[in-house]
Amino acid sequence: MSNILTRRREPFRFMLIVGIVGIVFLFLTLSLLYLLRKSSTDWVAFHIPLIFWVSTGMILLSSITLHQAIIYFKREHFRRYRWSMGITLLLGVLFICTQLLGWWQLTSEGIGMKTPAGAFLYMLTGLHILHILGGIVFLSVAFVHAVKRPQYVDSFVYSVNPPNLLRLQLGTVYWHFVDGLWIYLFLFLLYHQG
Protein backbone atom coordinates (compact mmCIF):
# COMPACT_ATOMS: atom_id res chain seq x y z
CA MET A 1 0.00 0.00 0.00
CA SER A 2 1.62 3.22 -1.12
CA ASN A 3 1.63 6.27 1.06
CA ILE A 4 -0.41 9.17 -0.32
CA LEU A 5 2.54 11.53 0.21
CA THR A 6 5.10 9.36 -1.59
CA ARG A 7 2.92 8.20 -4.48
CA ARG A 8 4.21 9.26 -7.90
CA ARG A 9 2.26 12.11 -9.42
CA GLU A 10 2.19 13.63 -12.87
CA PRO A 11 4.60 16.61 -12.57
CA PHE A 12 2.70 19.01 -14.85
CA ARG A 13 -0.54 18.46 -12.93
CA PHE A 14 1.33 19.09 -9.68
CA MET A 15 2.88 22.28 -11.09
CA LEU A 16 -0.56 23.50 -12.16
CA ILE A 17 -1.96 22.87 -8.68
CA VAL A 18 0.95 24.73 -7.07
CA GLY A 19 0.44 27.61 -9.51
CA ILE A 20 -3.28 27.78 -8.79
CA VAL A 21 -2.65 27.80 -5.03
CA GLY A 22 -0.15 30.65 -5.50
CA ILE A 23 -2.65 32.64 -7.59
CA VAL A 24 -5.35 32.12 -4.96
CA PHE A 25 -3.05 33.44 -2.22
CA LEU A 26 -2.11 36.44 -4.37
CA PHE A 27 -5.71 37.46 -4.98
CA LEU A 28 -6.81 36.78 -1.40
CA THR A 29 -3.95 38.97 -0.14
CA LEU A 30 -4.88 41.76 -2.56
CA SER A 31 -8.53 41.45 -1.49
CA LEU A 32 -7.55 41.82 2.15
CA LEU A 33 -5.37 44.85 1.35
CA TYR A 34 -8.28 46.33 -0.62
CA LEU A 35 -10.56 46.03 2.42
CA LEU A 36 -7.96 47.56 4.71
CA ARG A 37 -7.31 50.47 2.35
CA LYS A 38 -11.02 51.07 1.73
CA SER A 39 -11.48 52.31 5.30
CA SER A 40 -9.13 55.27 4.69
CA THR A 41 -10.49 58.80 4.34
CA ASP A 42 -9.19 59.37 0.80
CA TRP A 43 -11.09 56.43 -0.68
CA VAL A 44 -13.23 57.46 -3.67
CA ALA A 45 -16.39 55.41 -4.16
CA PHE A 46 -16.94 53.89 -7.59
CA HIS A 47 -19.51 51.74 -9.32
CA ILE A 48 -18.75 48.62 -11.33
CA PRO A 49 -19.24 49.43 -15.02
CA LEU A 50 -22.22 47.71 -16.62
CA ILE A 51 -19.91 46.21 -19.25
CA PHE A 52 -18.38 44.07 -16.46
CA TRP A 53 -21.75 42.28 -16.26
CA VAL A 54 -21.43 41.52 -19.96
CA SER A 55 -17.87 40.26 -19.52
CA THR A 56 -19.03 38.05 -16.65
CA GLY A 57 -21.64 36.49 -18.92
CA MET A 58 -19.00 35.93 -21.59
CA ILE A 59 -16.58 34.22 -19.23
CA LEU A 60 -19.35 31.97 -17.89
CA LEU A 61 -20.40 31.10 -21.42
CA SER A 62 -16.77 30.34 -22.31
CA SER A 63 -16.62 27.76 -19.51
CA ILE A 64 -19.75 26.13 -20.89
CA THR A 65 -18.44 26.04 -24.46
CA LEU A 66 -15.09 24.65 -23.30
CA HIS A 67 -16.84 21.97 -21.27
CA GLN A 68 -18.90 21.09 -24.34
CA ALA A 69 -15.72 21.01 -26.47
CA ILE A 70 -14.16 18.46 -24.12
CA ILE A 71 -17.29 16.31 -24.35
CA TYR A 72 -17.12 16.47 -28.15
CA PHE A 73 -13.40 15.62 -28.05
CA LYS A 74 -14.01 12.53 -25.91
CA ARG A 75 -16.91 11.40 -28.11
CA GLU A 76 -14.78 11.89 -31.24
CA HIS A 77 -17.03 14.61 -32.67
CA PHE A 78 -14.01 16.54 -33.88
CA ARG A 79 -15.82 19.03 -36.09
CA ARG A 80 -18.01 20.13 -33.17
CA TYR A 81 -14.90 20.16 -30.96
CA ARG A 82 -13.21 22.61 -33.36
CA TRP A 83 -16.25 24.88 -33.39
CA SER A 84 -16.58 24.84 -29.59
CA MET A 85 -12.88 25.58 -29.12
CA GLY A 86 -13.12 28.46 -31.59
CA ILE A 87 -16.14 29.92 -29.79
CA THR A 88 -14.39 29.56 -26.43
CA LEU A 89 -11.31 31.35 -27.78
CA LEU A 90 -13.46 34.14 -29.23
CA LEU A 91 -15.30 34.58 -25.92
CA GLY A 92 -11.96 34.80 -24.08
CA VAL A 93 -10.74 37.56 -26.40
CA LEU A 94 -14.08 39.38 -26.11
CA PHE A 95 -13.83 39.14 -22.33
CA ILE A 96 -10.56 41.07 -22.42
CA CYS A 97 -12.06 43.65 -24.81
CA THR A 98 -15.02 44.23 -22.49
CA GLN A 99 -12.68 44.57 -19.52
CA LEU A 100 -10.73 47.26 -21.37
CA LEU A 101 -14.02 49.02 -22.20
CA GLY A 102 -14.84 48.91 -18.49
CA TRP A 103 -11.52 50.55 -17.71
CA TRP A 104 -12.30 53.26 -20.25
CA GLN A 105 -15.67 53.87 -18.57
CA LEU A 106 -14.02 54.09 -15.16
CA THR A 107 -11.41 56.60 -16.31
CA SER A 108 -14.11 58.72 -17.95
CA GLU A 109 -15.85 58.81 -14.54
CA GLY A 110 -12.65 60.02 -12.86
CA ILE A 111 -11.58 56.69 -11.35
CA GLY A 112 -7.96 56.61 -12.47
CA MET A 113 -4.78 54.92 -11.31
CA LYS A 114 -3.99 57.82 -8.98
CA THR A 115 -7.00 57.17 -6.76
CA PRO A 116 -6.65 54.37 -4.20
CA ALA A 117 -9.87 52.72 -5.35
CA GLY A 118 -8.80 52.92 -8.99
CA ALA A 119 -5.34 51.57 -8.28
CA PHE A 120 -6.77 48.49 -6.58
CA LEU A 121 -9.48 48.02 -9.19
CA TYR A 122 -7.03 48.20 -12.10
CA MET A 123 -4.52 45.99 -10.29
CA LEU A 124 -7.05 43.26 -9.50
CA THR A 125 -8.67 43.24 -12.93
CA GLY A 126 -5.35 43.74 -14.74
CA LEU A 127 -3.72 40.79 -13.00
CA HIS A 128 -6.75 38.73 -13.88
CA ILE A 129 -6.45 39.77 -17.53
CA LEU A 130 -2.83 38.57 -17.48
CA HIS A 131 -3.98 35.19 -16.22
CA ILE A 132 -6.71 35.09 -18.87
CA LEU A 133 -4.03 35.74 -21.50
CA GLY A 134 -2.29 32.57 -20.31
CA GLY A 135 -5.54 30.69 -20.90
CA ILE A 136 -5.92 32.28 -24.32
CA VAL A 137 -2.48 30.94 -25.26
CA PHE A 138 -3.69 27.44 -24.34
CA LEU A 139 -6.96 27.91 -26.27
CA SER A 140 -5.10 29.24 -29.31
CA VAL A 141 -2.71 26.29 -29.39
CA ALA A 142 -5.55 23.79 -28.91
CA PHE A 143 -7.59 25.48 -31.64
CA VAL A 144 -4.67 25.50 -34.09
CA HIS A 145 -4.02 21.79 -33.42
CA ALA A 146 -7.71 21.06 -34.00
CA VAL A 147 -7.89 23.02 -37.25
CA LYS A 148 -4.69 21.44 -38.59
CA ARG A 149 -6.32 18.01 -38.39
CA PRO A 150 -9.57 18.25 -40.37
CA GLN A 151 -9.59 14.56 -41.32
CA TYR A 152 -11.17 12.18 -38.83
CA VAL A 153 -8.20 9.79 -38.77
CA ASP A 154 -5.71 12.59 -38.01
CA SER A 155 -7.96 13.95 -35.28
CA PHE A 156 -8.45 10.50 -33.79
CA VAL A 157 -4.71 9.77 -33.67
CA TYR A 158 -4.17 13.16 -32.02
CA SER A 159 -6.95 12.50 -29.50
CA VAL A 160 -5.56 9.21 -28.21
CA ASN A 161 -2.03 10.52 -27.67
CA PRO A 162 -1.56 10.75 -23.86
CA PRO A 163 0.50 13.99 -23.85
CA ASN A 164 -2.18 15.68 -25.97
CA LEU A 165 -4.90 14.50 -23.61
CA LEU A 166 -2.94 15.74 -20.60
CA ARG A 167 -2.35 19.15 -22.19
CA LEU A 168 -6.05 19.47 -22.91
CA GLN A 169 -7.03 18.41 -19.39
CA LEU A 170 -4.60 20.80 -17.70
CA GLY A 171 -5.57 23.71 -19.94
CA THR A 172 -9.22 23.07 -19.22
CA VAL A 173 -8.64 23.04 -15.46
CA TYR A 174 -6.71 26.31 -15.74
CA TRP A 175 -9.41 27.99 -17.86
CA HIS A 176 -12.19 26.97 -15.47
CA PHE A 177 -10.05 28.24 -12.59
CA VAL A 178 -9.51 31.71 -14.09
CA ASP A 179 -13.22 31.83 -14.93
CA GLY A 180 -14.05 31.07 -11.30
CA LEU A 181 -11.47 33.62 -10.19
CA TRP A 182 -13.25 36.31 -12.20
CA ILE A 183 -16.58 35.39 -10.60
CA TYR A 184 -14.95 35.82 -7.19
CA LEU A 185 -13.40 39.18 -8.18
CA PHE A 186 -16.61 40.44 -9.75
CA LEU A 187 -18.72 39.58 -6.69
CA PHE A 188 -16.06 40.96 -4.34
CA LEU A 189 -15.84 44.28 -6.22
CA LEU A 190 -19.62 44.45 -6.63
CA TYR A 191 -20.16 44.01 -2.90
CA HIS A 192 -17.34 46.39 -1.89
CA GLN A 193 -17.65 49.02 -4.62
CA GLY A 194 -19.04 51.94 -2.63
- The string of pLDDT tens digits covering residues 118-156 is 888 899 999 999 999 999 998 898 888 878 766 655 566
Instruction: Give the pLDDT score at 38.
Output: 85
- Residue 165: pLDDT over 70: yes
Per-residue buried b or exposed e for 87-120, using 16+ beta carbons within 10 Å of the residue's own CB: bbbebbbbbbebbebbbebbeeeebeeebebbeb
Mean pLDDT value across the chain: 85
Residue 170's closest CA among 6, 28, 11, 7? Answer: 11
pTM, rounded to two decimals: 0.85
Go through the domains of the chain in sequence order and give each one's CATH number: 50-192 (1.20.120.80)
